[in-house]
Structure formats: C-alpha cells, structure tokens
Copies of this chain bind each other. A is one copy, B any other.
Amino acid sequence: MTVKQLSLPALADACARLGVPAVGLWREPVAEYGLDAVAKLVRDAGLTVTSLCRGGFLTALDPADRARALDDNRAAVDEAATLGTDTLVLVSGGLPGGSRDLAAARERIADALTVLGPYAGERGVRLAIEPLHPMFASDRCVVSTLDQALDLAERFPAPQVGVVVDTYHVWWDDRAPAAVARAGAAGRIHSFQLADWVTPLPAGVLTGRGQLGDGSIDMREWRERMEAAGWTGFVEVELFNDGLWARDGGEALGETVRRFVSEVF
C-alpha cells in the first residue's frame, strides 16, 4: 500500500532491485491481478508475503450483513493461504449506523472470531487484530488500543488470533509498551508495521501517515521494544500518504528503504 501506484510485477521488480525480501499485500490489487497469478509472481520472485490486508469489519448488527462479513473473511483466509502468508490483518469495523455502543460492537467481533479463528487455524493462517488509532473508533475500528486487541485475542488460541503492532496507531499510548511485552510473552504478535505521525492531519485523516523519520515517533525505540518482546519477524512499512502516492513508485520505495535503514536501525 505504501507504493500502491506500482503494479504487482513492477513492485516485485522494485523489491528485487532494492533488496526488499518481503511484502505485505492488500486484497484489492491481488484480486485485480488474479490470486493465482500473484501467488506465482511472488513465488517466482522469491518474495515472502508477510501478511494479507485485510479482513475484519465484523461489527454489523444486521444478520445478513454479519453472514456476508463471515463469508468475506473466510475468503480472505483462503486467499492468504494461497498467497503463502500465515497472517491475515483484521480491521475490526466501526459502529454500525445509529449505534453508540462500543462495548457491544467489540463483543460482536469476539463472536465472529469464534467462527473465524478455527477456520483460519485449520488453514495455517493467523488472524491479526489491528488496533487502529482512536480517531478511527467510530467509522473503522472500535478496537483502539493494544490492550483491547489483546483482551480480544486472548479468548482464542495464540495460533488463531493475535495482534498487529502499528506504530502509527499506538505510539501515543503510555500503556502500549507494557502491552507489547504482554503480547510478545503470549506469542500474540503477528505483525509489526511502521508509519510516522505527522501533522496537520488531512481531511478524513486516512492518508496522512508520515514517511519514517518525518514525524514524532521514535522508530528505533519501537524496533528495540519489539525485539525485547521477542519479535524476530519482518517489519512492514505501511504508509497511506497522498504525497508518496503521487510520486514515481520506484523512487518512493527507494526513499522508504533508505529511511528504513537510517531511522529504524
């Protein structure tokens, strides 16, 4: 998503040229290019698929909507398995229209996971609940903190349900460091993503994530914190950034790689 302006073959080429060994993929471009074709593309390129984004949106009240959401998440699990990744990122969903009950919405997520967790586990895919910044609580994700995500995940076996740690969403939270340790100790960290926090936020606040080093988050400290919690996996850089998307994709990816080296290590 950081360089969504690149086609998937161009992305694979750019990764090879820049020495990027692994990518996180999103479902929409995968579906557009064709699931089996993408699976072959990444296999031939020797690219590891770190995660597939995204399942979730499990907070609907209407039974038909809930059934559709479960179907869609089962499809996402299947896609993840086909792509050879062990991690499906979940953006849990916001408040359904007219509802003001965050706690009930969180319970509906847990209900859905009782179905989806075993389905994923049987296919070697882990569901990764991503807490989103509280500014998305109403319209995208009622799970706003790592502790909330862990509270949900821990109702299920660790190989079925864990969490995503994305610096952009949790950097402000003074309880996040303890939650990272808690998640690591429980084997619940399924994905680690980086984006920097920059202001002013754009209208709609979705596409204002900062390039590493441009903002308020100490990337090195977060990488060290994750390593202290036992994280040995890949680190994703996930920037939703209008400025980055407007540039040449290869050049934008090159800058991101340089920042990754200088800011994270």
Contacts and interface: CB of A to CB of B under 8 A. Distances in A.
Nearest to A218: B100
Interface in A76-114: 95, 100-103, 106
A106 B174 CA distance: 11
Interface of A is mostly: loop
Interface string A181-220: 0000000000000000101111111000000000111100
A174 B196 CA distance: 25
A265 B248 CA distance: 55
| Residue from A148, A215, A216 having most chain B Cβ neighbours under 10 A | A216
Q: Assembly of this chain: how many copies?
A: 2
A239 to B, nearest CB: 17
A1 interface: no
A5 interface: no
B201 A134 contact: no
A251 interface: no
Interface of A: 95, 100-103, 106, 133-135, 137-139, 144-145, 148, 171-174, 197, 199-205, 215-218, 221
Given A138-B216, A201-B205, 5 more contacts: A100-B221, A134-B172, A200-B205, A202-B203, A203-B203
